[in-house]
Amino acid sequence: MADHAGATTYVFDFAEGNKDLKDLLGGKGANLAEMSNIGLPVPPGFTITTGACRVYLATGAEPVSLRAEVDEHLARLEDRMGRRLGQADDPLLVSVRSGAKFSMPGMMETVLNIGLNDQSVEGLAKQSGSERFAWDSYRRLLAMFGRTVLGIDGEHFEQAIDEAKQAKGTTSDLDLEAPDLRVLVATYQQIVREQTGREFPQDPREQMDLAVRAVFGSWNAPRAVLYRRQERIPADLGTAVNVVAMVFGNLGMDSGTGVAFTRDPATGEKGVYGDYLQNAQGEDVVAGIRNTVPLAELERIDKMSYDQLLSIMATLEHHYRDLCDIEFTIERGHLWMLQTRVGKRTAAAAFRIATALVDEGLIDHDEAVRRVTGDQLAHLMFPRFDTDSSATRLASGVNASPGAAVGRVVFDSAAAVAWAGRGEHVILVRRETTPDDLHGMIAAQGILTSRGGKTSHAAVVARGMGKTCVSGAEELTIDLAGRRFTTSDGQVVVEGDVISIDGTSGEVFLGEVPVVPSPVVRYFEGALAADADPLVAAVDRLIGQADRARRLGVRANADTPEDADRARRFGAAGIGLCRTEHMFLGERRELVERLILADSATEREGALAELEVLQRADFEAILAAMDGLPVTIRLIDPPLHEFLPDLTELSVRVAVAEARGEDPGHDQVLLAAVRRLHEENPMLGLRGVRLLLVIPGLLAMQVRAIAWAAAARRVAGADPRPEIMIPLIGSVQELELAREESQKVLGQVAAESGTTVSTPIGTMIELPRAALTAGVIAGAAEFFSFGTNDLTQTTWGFSRDDVEAAFFARYLDLGIFGVSPFETLDREGVGRLVRIAAQEGRAARPDLHLGVCGEHGGDPDSVHFFHQVGLDYVSCSPFRVPVARLEAGRAALVEAGGSDTR
């Protein structure tokens, strides 16, 4: 933002901002400004913009004008407060807090109580009338500044305070009195000297400047980078810095700090939700250092503040039209608002809150659809624990983030990452988590802590990631050094033991608890009525609205009648990919072997004839399951050797037989065939249309089976709608030859059966050359279906089966990928090929039907891209069909002018 002279402005008072300036002021700064604007009690302060951070990160230095701007705004703050930063007799103290555009809880830095030094601590004691409070605030500054700004391992400070409590014979820091805290401050200062070789800075302005730079730098801290990658937050945004006059929750038992939610972030229900901690500062609540009391207890502790808080919560929810997450402090009976933001919530809460806000008239149905995501819906479809099982209950805690997680117990993040890396499912067990545990939390199936509540670090981060979490399980005594925990009844669980945690009920069980389908899946299966469960009712409403809004059709990838039937129940409008090669597996491999080993046309035709009978029955069953809806049948794609035994396995069997003097028999014949068909790179070898054109009779057999199946269904009075898809086209000549033979067979069957079934013929676009020559290929195709799995492989030059295990993890760490290109479509490369093919295909043939049948068809981000490109449908696995339906609706609503609020 520039002022009237054109110079960039880097600092804004809260009165100058609003909630729509998150790009400039970050989420925290924008919302502090908004709360100030609507008259809520916010401590005064100012925000240093994200632009200043970007300059600092790019150049290693602050913008030239920044110091003067900070001077000006600090002077205004001092004038308003009637005190000077760190003045000896009555000091103004400030906090320096990070605040990016997108919430990154605990990932960046905050420093409280800046302005305290050896002189001003005495003034604070005198001004407050509490020597203990002043020295407690000073020791907090030393520890936070030491960790955050000076890079000292926080364990040094933790050990010092633990020793102080042991010497006092207590486990609570509240029992440390002013003389104890004086000694602790001296110990902390000694730690600073020993670890850094310098004294703790006594100049308040130096403290503030160093803290601001530390917050800037924390944008690129490893845990922040990891969190952004996990949440797909752009790396170039930077963080704002908020400098706020301190208000104190650690002034005594008439003071405190807390976190509140306007609705339950776990379930979405209305009520009084949150945590409160008397005589504490905000870090104590989030860190879970002491267990909090439920927010409802504040009514008993301080009814006036409680009533005011509830009024403010209602104001904020109505103002933001959403669940709000609020941080507050009470200073000797005076309530202060320190932060608000649209709160993170579980998947279940997202759906229930969205529909509740519609019913309350705050948003409309379209906005409600924009506020839920396909990822959240997918999470709701995960299985749940069977509550009727006889599992052994170990403990109960706070149901911080719902879900059912099973895994082996590990006690630190490094172990979680290592064990998960070798394929183990793990549960990360900690007393409480810190931001440094993020990599372990990502690796784990679930998180269990013995401290903290619904607003602890573990709870907030787990909800944001969709991880199962149980926090505050006080019945557990965790021995990190011994790698074990003990329950209240003496049962010991050691590292490696399997436990199950239920984030919905907060229960912890020994061993693996069986699971049952979720209510949402039962609803889609038709086994549960929409009105039988409030969550299911919310899902039903929003899926229905998405269906009404979407332009994209949604089909399913299905190879069996059972899959087709399930897909239809889940809302699929047809089959976008029926893979015929799956019909050659199992007992039918023998027929494929006969086809491959045939020495004459007669033997080959005999094998094909038997396969045709089986394929026809398969196609009839699938067309019956999808009667009245399109069924796109892809002719055989993989190379034939995939239906034969493994080369190495066969070679060993033959060698062993020969070594024993035995006749290898049929194995010898098979081995010769496998060697003849062996390819160094079968993905780019004799497969797809190449196979269909090279093996006489193979294409005709499959088309004939499809045609007779459709004819039989039509004669029976049904409405079959088959579509024939030719795979792996690289040139239009390949498609023309395959199309010519297919049409000849279709005509023969129509003549013989006396019935004609319209059967469009199209192709998969899965090679870059096909995409780049789509305008020509469209002349021979009635539809394109983008096979984005193979298109990704051939565009990147990847062999998926090899590269994902070989180096994808490293590429993700290096930032080469933000996400695997097999998970979410690579828009710049593969997506550009899709766009070119769609545009040039439609230009050549305006009625060309366009779809996608790779795994990307069920990926939420990719669905939005396919909508933008103008495809007619996406196709995905049956269980992803509801996800695709929802995201297709959201894509249409975003295009129509609404923002994507994911």
| Residues annotated as part of the active site | 457, 853
Q: Three-class SS of residue 527?
A: coil
E strand residue ranges, 570-690: 575-579, 630-634
- Residue recorded with tokens 């000292």: 152
How many other CB atoms are there within 10 angstroms of residue 753's CB atom?
16
Q: Which of 292, 282, 290, 370 lies closest to 326 in space, CA to CA?
A: 282
Enter the DSSP assignment of 200: P
Q: Which of 324, 501, 470 lies closest to 401 in space, CA to CA?
A: 470
- Answer whether 292's CB lies under 8 Å from 276's CB: yes
CA distances from 265 to 27, 268, 323, 397 (A): 19, 6, 8, 16
E strand residue ranges, 29-163: 45-48, 94-100, 110-114
CA distances from 770 to 634, 637, 688, 848 (A): 17, 16, 14, 15
Count Cβ neighbours within 10 Å for each residue of 177-208 and write b for 16 or more, e otherwise.
Answer: eeebbbbbbebbbebbeeeeeeebbeebbebb
Burial class (CB within 10 angstroms; exposed 0-12, middle 13-18, buried 19+) of 299:
middle
Q: Which of 267, 296, 486, 509 lies closest to 396 in space, CA to CA?
A: 509
Burial class (CB within 10 angstroms; exposed 0-12, middle 13-18, buried 19+) of 150:
middle
Give residues with Cβ within 8 angstroms of 829, minimum separation 6.
Answer: 795, 796, 821
Burial class (CB within 10 angstroms; exposed 0-12, middle 13-18, buried 19+) of 297:
middle
**Cα separation, 322 vs 730, whole angstroms:** 51
Q: What angle do CA 547, 551, 555 make, to 5 degrees?
A: 70
Give the CB-side neighbour count of residue 54, counting CA atoms within 13 A.
15
Enter the DSSP assignment of 273: E
As a residue count, the chain comes to 902
**Cα separation, 722 vs 489, whole angstroms:** 64
- Answer whether 233's CB lies under 8 Å from 102's CB: yes
Q: Which value, in Å, is the radius of gyration of the alpha carbons in the chain?
A: 33
- Answer whether 618's CB lies under 8 Å from 633's CB: no
- Answer whether 583's CB lies under 8 Å from 615's CB: yes
**Cα separation, 386 vs 514, whole angstroms:** 6
- Backbone dihedral angles phi then psi of residue 577, each to the nearest 5 degrees: -155, 110
Per DSSP, helices labelled H in 360-474 are: 365-370, 374-380, 413-421, 438-443, 457-465
Following CA atoms 130, 133, 136, 140 in sequence, which dihedral angle do they give, to the nearest 10 degrees? Answer: -140
How many other CB atoms are there within 10 angstroms of residue 122's CB atom?
17
- What is the pairing mode between strands 873-876 and 849-852? parallel
- Answer whether 230's CB lies under 8 Å from 364's CB: no
Following CA atoms 388, 394, 399, 401 in sequence, which dihedral angle do they give, to the nearest 10 degrees? Answer: -90
